[in-house]
Structure 1
């Protein structure tokens, strides 16, 4: 299947770092979409809708490109319960981590790969869960001050010091916890005859 270029539909520096691991030529185009929940009642449903919408938005601008969209939704306990967003402030991050102390936080990370002109689309949702340790308030404050996870759902960066907050993690692909499920993406790219490695 032919495509002119590979575009990551994201402005996330973490997703760019993950894409860089693959050693392929690509560029980023920020999808200017509304990411607020609509009638979505399930975390997987919301993550998938947003990943598809991001990829579609960019694929409409670049119909010959292979476009990669991704989105992640975090939630406590039941996937239909209140979703956990980005804290945006230090106070918000401290409040999130306080609520998550001793709890299991789940993540649904969706992927949509599209080539608009060829009507090609493959979608995927990867699930991951994190069991937090019982955290002391001073630990939470120190962590937030050091790593500033203000734009991370759940208020942590597992690729950094955030790993120290966990009792355990469970899932098939740790990169999905970081926001882009690379194992699933590589499988799709190989189906499109892209050599990896």
Structure 2
């Protein structure tokens, strides 16, 4: 829901990133804004969603909501990402957590298009502002050998990344093509959209 805000300017110091992700912190740092990170404690398991968009959107909204209710005068940013393979948005690709699972994921990704539904929720409860959206990005994996997969996992350690790769690191070597309007969507937080929302809330960028 998109609600008009008041004319009151909100200080950059009142920005909270509802995340503990280092990648999302690195993306926020690009903006040169003062902010703090608070990790929301929510259950990230699916609750009957049958499309990646729906799961990503709910999780991003809930992450922001939890922190916004604790800090109603702050601008709170929540984001979440769900990966899925072509023609199967109902089959979510999660974080592998183990080397064996990462090998399995990358073998399944080999030669395939893998899609990413990345949701963003920005909330400022003091002015009754809430905006949540989903952006998309996808990559075409090249054909990968087992030796390449094992070497990649050893070097990049992508065990906490959906799809078992880090696009901002050596994961770029796994791709044949990257398709989308904003590469930060693939990295886990759509920055072009977020900058537009922050400007609505009175944050000067640049």
Shift of 1:79: 4.8
Instruction: Compare 184-193 and 17-26 and name the one that shifted more.
Output: 184-193
For the 8 Å contact 1:43–1:79, the answer to whether it is kept is no
Instruction: Compare 168-177 and 78-87 and name the one that shifted more.
Output: 78-87
2:95 to 61, 65, 86: 86
Distance 1:173 1:7 in 2: 22
Q: Which residue of 1 aligns with 2:20?
A: 11
1:192 corresponds to 2:201: yes
Shift of 1:3: 3.8
For the 8 Å contact 1:77–1:105, the answer to whether it is kept is yes
1:143 to 152, 155, 158: 152
Unaligned runs of 5+ in 2: 1-7
Shift of 1:170: 0.3
Q: Which residue of 1 aligns with 2:128?
A: 119
For the 8 Å contact 2:61–2:132, the answer to whether it is kept is yes
Mapping of residues 1-197 of structure 1, within 5 Å: 1-3=8-10, 5-197=14-206
Distance 1:33 1:3 in 2: 27
For the 8 Å contact 1:63–1:116, the answer to whether it is kept is yes
For the 8 Å contact 2:78–2:121, the answer to whether it is kept is yes
Q: Deviations over 1:56-95 (max 9, x none)?
A: 0000111111000000000011253310000001111111
Q: Runs of at least 4 residues of structure 1 off by over 2 A?
A: 1-4, 78-81
Instruction: Compare 59-68 and 74-83 and name the one that shifted more.
Output: 74-83
Q: Structure 2 length as normaliser, TM-score?
A: 0.93
For the 8 Å contact 2:96–2:105, the answer to whether it is kept is yes
Q: Deviations over 1:114-172 (max 9, x none)?
A: 01222101111110001000000000000000000000000001111100000001001
Distance 2:158 2:38 in 1: 23
Shift of 1:2: 4.2
Unaligned runs of 5+ in 1: none
